[in-house]
């Protein structure tokens, strides 16, 4: 019986760049065939990138994507690969539009210059960051086809996360192999959940499972790759790189075997989160046509971590740090910023803001709050001027804890097109800083982040001797309350019952609610938790509910 | 046979302010009963306000709403109204959670101190600004109950906009009267569509229809009221005020008659749009606890229109205009701003920005673009300082055409918590200005907007002799292209085929796509069209698709 060599192709498509995505697919297919593959699988929407959001509702977009798939099939035949089935994800017109949706989220099997089979995703996720019920028409039938005497089924992503639907027919159709095409974004504990789910599918439907994910950053999402092949008996046969393009080869038979060199074990959580942040930033920069970034370096931990992520992502030579001291900036802060820049090897300049602050103070009669915000806004204006003059992308360095309680100045330290640590709570910012330093040391490199930036009490330095804890509870308490309120959706009574101080809980919840208008105007940044601010959590600004 | 006097109660609830909404409901019920009503109907989610967005996924919120409904029933009985059925909308726990959704979008019939009947909305809108499939579990059964020998059915909003579902059972259940509870936001041509739809329902299901809508502003939505009673034969029996709370009384029999004084005809489109903008601003201010607003007055048409809307909404004495001239501001601009403020009777101060601009120019080496943006950002900092010092809500004055093509300075003229004309294209800004002046004259009042602000060529005044048309096509051309690309989702080829210049179309579409990141960070403002920027149009920032 002829044997199938499956190539699991994990690509990093750019949303909307259909021609480039198809060209990259052809290159990968050529490479895979050269390695002996005779069945090739891509991820969900590999043709268009993912998620395409309301592009799905534009007829010209769907028509362009469909035409590209047809052309891809023809080109593969012209190259002599016509007999190798290629399974790839793309949007396709639905015959039964509903609501705004005109298209399916589909997977086509390309064979002999044409589309031999098509599957339309059945379960459309419409929770968390996903709006697929808005954008797609569900399909209802499982695709199972025969190739080299094997029965092969095709489903897409959410189909295996919900019960019922086409997935329940896989064993009925006696499928030897099930290809799952995915666009599954990174969350810090998701790799374990995916593996458990795939094993359950393999066991319940008695099928080998090839789970191919996308990789790459897209606005607030990071697709981590981590494609997996799991045999009927639950064994992990192959596992692709995280955070990089990759091809995994598996010889598929009753006992599948890995035909490429790949590690099965994953790296630890800190490594994963760090690399998610790095990839998220790198792809935002690259895919939006930027070459460099600018950010304020205060000597504090947040800007130090963001500068390090940026240096890892696009090279320190493309990172421009600006120190913008005021009358309240301590000497050690300026020193820490300078040491960081030297450690990283990034650009570093200083622009004192005192003269600018004075020019406003002499024209306006300012309250204390206005006066503090004014300093932050001078810095925002400077960073945007640098961006306008030199074409840098401005990074904003706020962390999730600050964004949650509105501990930032809108149009001040919040300015920028991308917010690399917006989903990283303050406790985790410190943890990542320590981890990154240790990781450097373990590789014989210089630890980039000054110890002083990690160990000193955090301060916005907007008035004399200010620290964050003048206004906020200790960050371990704050983060624990935020985790319950934001991520777990607990009410005040439940959080208090868990042992937190009544007045602290009321105050934190009230701050979170009141900061909604600021968050709405914030930059996008990579989601790494189960509940990121942004489209993951959609609350009214006008909202008097307390509880 | 006893007669039913129906009170259609059009209220303006505040999202999340459940106690206040219930107290207001009791007051309205008391009033209606005093007017002889013996059946009372509210709008969709009148208990909690609408839309509640992800509050729907918080168990404490749903529990609070359910408890409030139970308590309302008891209080009505205690007041002696126990025998009057009250039909009111609220969220309620679903027994079958799905996805993130734990609740139904429900309507309860309160009678004799308890919930006598309940209906759960079947068709959940999940397009345009709506995410109801995300937030609610659909119900599947029509509610029909008997009261005073009449058969009465209850459905909710979207149920009558889509085919199939419970609505199709209304005639089977021989319903004399159908109560439709709505949370239907204003769009400039929606009143006609609603009436046609209600007439179709009345004719196809052979039922009188009482359509009760909410009224009031909620973030980017304005509910316009305009509740309607349509008899089986298609006659409009009663119609509530637009943009105000109201009670319409109808004696319901084979030939229903109006029992309160109400006009059937609507005012013209300009009046409707203007009042939508006024109510949207007034309610954002009021419901978020502000008392006053601040905005920059440039002498241009946009800020003139916004200042006039604000004065109509909250009184000119609560409107603070700031003139912030630069070296490029013309004398006539300053004069026009001053005349406007005098006409309105709003506050007016002048803060020259020259000194502040110089303090930056001496510290930084700026490109032309950076230099233009700097001026706008100085103004943004001044307005936010005024806001921080005096507690004003900052209004940003950008119109839809500018937002579309990114013709604004982010963190400059875009600063603010609310954007009153963000969904008003430039052509309509002029039209509304003329209409508002004429309307004033027709009432014997002073026309507020200086003729010069309306008739002069629009300019950002950021460099000498600049006009908008240095960078943009004429606004009538621009708005026509935007209408096709944004609202009608046409592609470049289709727009060019309609007779527009190829290079102009390409340029405009490219500007629209490139401004997505700015729009994401923009303030909310009232939707008045079928496709507003914001949650109505969800596109990726990272997107290379052209077409």
- pLDDT, tens only, A332-365: 888 999 999 999 999 999 999 999 999 999 999 9
Name the residue among B370, B491, B543 with its Cβ closest to that of A389. Answer: B370
Q: Per the CB < 8 Å rule, is A381 touching B374?
A: yes
Cα–Cα distance, A352 to A339 (Å, whole number): 18
pLDDT score for B344: 98
Each residue's pLDDT tens digit, A152-164 = 999 999 999 998 9
Name the residue among A20, A388, A524 with its Cβ closest to that of B369. Answer: A388
What's the order of all strands across the beta sheet hosting A293-296? A347-350, A319-323, A293-296, A393-394
Helix (H) or strand (E) holding A229: strand A228-230
pLDDT score for A189: 82
Please, how many CA atoms are within 13 Å of residue A457, restricted to the half-sphere of its CB? 12
Would you call A293 helix, strand, or coil by DSSP? strand
pLDDT score for B462: 86
Whats the size of chain A, residue-wise? Answer: 547
Extract the residue ranges of chain B whose pLDDT is less than 70: 1-2
What sign does the dihedral A18-A21-A27-A29 (CA atoms) show? negative
pLDDT score for B2: 65
- Give the CATH superfamily of B277-472+515-520: HUPs (3.40.50.620)
DSSP assigned state of A416: S
Question: Could you tell me the CA-to-CA distances from A401 to A419, A426, B206 in Å, in that order?
Answer: 13, 6, 57
Q: What is the DSSP string of A353-365?
A: -HHHHHHHHTTS-
Name the residue among B58, B351, B517 with its Cβ closest to that of A417. Answer: B517
Q: CA nearest A225: which of A52, A44, A48?
A: A44
Count of CB contacts below 8 A, A vs B? Answer: 249
Average pLDDT over residues A263-292: 96
Q: Per the CB < 8 Å rule, is A540 touching B369?
A: no
Q: Are B381 and B375 in contact (CB under 8 A)?
A: no
Residue A456 is among the residues annotated as catalytic for this protein? no
Instruction: Using alpha carbons only, give the angle A8, A13, A14 rounded to the nearest 5 degrees.
Output: 175
Each residue's pLDDT tens digit, A183-225 = 999 999 887 899 999 999 999 999 999 999 999 999 999 999 9
Mean pLDDT taken over chain A: 96
Q: Per the CB < 8 Å rule, is A542 touching B415?
A: no
pLDDT score for B121: 98
Helix (H) or strand (E) holding A232: none
Q: Does B384 touch chain A (CB under 8 A)?
A: yes
Chain B residues within an 8 Å CB radius of A521: 521-523
Please, how many CA atoms are within 13 Å of residue A369, restricted to the half-sphere of its CB? 13
Each residue's pLDDT tens digit, A465-514 = 888 888 899 999 999 999 999 999 999 999 999 999 999 999 999 999 99
Cα–Cα distance, A398 to A126 (Å, whole number): 28
Give the contacts of A196 (CB within 8 A, at least 6 positions apart).
none
Give the contacts of B504 (CB within 8 A, at least 6 positions apart).
B473, B477, B481
Structure-token match 């050269």, residue found: A34
ipTM over cut 0.90: yes
Q: Which of B66, B132, B150, B157 is catalytic?
A: B157
Helix (H) or strand (E) holding B499: none
Q: Residue B400 — φ and ψ, nearest 5°?
A: -65, -35
Residue A172 tokens, joined: 């009925």
Cα–Cα distance, A108 to A116 (Å, whole number): 7
Average pLDDT over residues A410-416: 97
Q: Does A265 touch chain B (CB under 8 A)?
A: no
pLDDT score for A99: 82
pLDDT score for B90: 98
Q: Per the CB < 8 Å rule, is B415 touching A417?
A: no
Residue B326 tokens, joined: 């630069």
Strand A393-394 with A347-350, pairing: unpaired
pLDDT above 70: percentage of residues in chain A = 100
Q: Where are the domains of chain A?
A: 4-266, 277-472+515-520
What sign does the dihedral A216-A220-A224-A227 (CA atoms) show? negative
Residue B157 is among the residues annotated as catalytic for this protein? yes
Residue A1 has pLDDT above 70, yes or no: no
Cα–Cα distance, A399 to A402 (Å, whole number): 6
- Give the CATH superfamily of A4-266: Carbon-nitrogen hydrolase (3.60.110.10)
Q: Are A459 and A300 in contact (CB under 8 A)?
A: yes
Cα–Cα distance, B424 to B532 (Å, whole number): 9
pLDDT above 90: percentage of residues in chain A = 92
CA trace torsion A45, A51, A57, A62 (10° rounding):
-20
DSSP assigned state of B537: B
CA distance B541 to chain A (A): 7
Cα–Cα distance, B120 to B52 (Å, whole number): 16
């Amino acid at each position: 019986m002829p044997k199938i060599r499956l190539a699991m192709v994990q690509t990093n498509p750019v949303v909307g760049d259909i021609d480039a995505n198809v060209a990259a697919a052809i290159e990968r297919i050529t490479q895979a065939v050269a390695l002996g593959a005779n069945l090739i699988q891509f991820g969900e929407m590999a043709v268009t990138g993912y998620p395409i959001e309301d592009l799905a509702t534009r007829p010209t977009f769907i028509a362009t994507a469909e035409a590209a798939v047809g052309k891809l099939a023809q080109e593969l035949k012209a190259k002599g690969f016509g007999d190798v089935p290629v399974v790839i994800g793309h949007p396709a017109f639905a015959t039964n539009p509903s609501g705004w949706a005109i298209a399916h989220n589909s997977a086509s099997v390309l064979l002999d210059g044409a589309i031999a089979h098509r599957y339309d995703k059945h379960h459309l996720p419409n929770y968390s960051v996903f709006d697929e019920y808005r954008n797609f028409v569900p399909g209802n039938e499982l695709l199972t086809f025969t190739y080299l005497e094997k029965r092969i089924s095709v489903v897409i992503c959410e189909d295996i996360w919900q019960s019922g639907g086409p997935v329940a027919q896989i064993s009925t159709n006696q499928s030897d192999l099930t290809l799952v095409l995915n666009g599954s974004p990174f969350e810090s504990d998701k790799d374990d959940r995916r593996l458990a789910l795939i094993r359950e599918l393999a066991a319940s439907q008695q099928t080998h499972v090839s789970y191919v994910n996308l990789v790459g950053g897209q606005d607030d999402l990071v697709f981590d790759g981590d494609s997996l092949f799991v045999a009927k008996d639950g064994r992990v046969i192959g596992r692709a790189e995280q955070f990089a393009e990759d091809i995994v080869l598996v010889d598929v038979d009753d006992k599948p075997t890995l035909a490429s060199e790949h590690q099965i074990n994953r790296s630890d959580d800190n490594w994963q989160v760090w690399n998610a942040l790095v990839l998220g930033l790198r792809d935002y920069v690259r895919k939006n046509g930027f070459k460099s970034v600018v950010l304020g370096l205060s000597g504090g931990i947040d800007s130090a971590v963001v500068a390090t992520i940026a240096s890892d992502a696009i090279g320190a030579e493309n990172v421009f740090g600006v120190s913008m001291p005021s009358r309240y900036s301590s000497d050690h802060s300026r020193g820490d910023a300078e040491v960081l820049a030297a450690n990283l090897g990034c650009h570093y300049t200083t622009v004192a803001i005192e003269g600018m602050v004075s020019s406003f103070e002499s024209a306006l009669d300012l309250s204390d709050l206005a006066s503090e915000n004014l300093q932050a806004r001078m810095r925002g204006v400077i960073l945007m001027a640098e961006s306008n003059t030199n074409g840098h992308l401005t990074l904003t360095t706020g962390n999730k804890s600050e964004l949650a309680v509105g501990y930032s100045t809108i149009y001040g330290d919040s300015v920028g097109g991308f917010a690399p640590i917006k989903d990283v709570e303050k406790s985790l910012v410190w943890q990542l800083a320590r981890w990154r330093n240790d990781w450097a040391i373990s590789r014989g490199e210089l630890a980039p982040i000054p110890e002083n930036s990690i160990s000193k009490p955090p301060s916005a330095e907007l008035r004399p001797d200010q620290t964050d804890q003048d206004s906020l509870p200790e960050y371990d308490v704050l983060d624990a309350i935020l985790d319950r309120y934001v991520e777990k959706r607990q009410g005040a009574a439940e959080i208090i019952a868990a042992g937190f101080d009544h007045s602290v809980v009321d105050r934190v919840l009230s701050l979170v609610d009141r900061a909604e208008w600021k968050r709405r105007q914030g930059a996008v940044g990579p989601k790494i938790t189960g509940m990121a601010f942004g489209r993951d959590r959609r609350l009214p600004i006008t909202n008097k509910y307390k509880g």
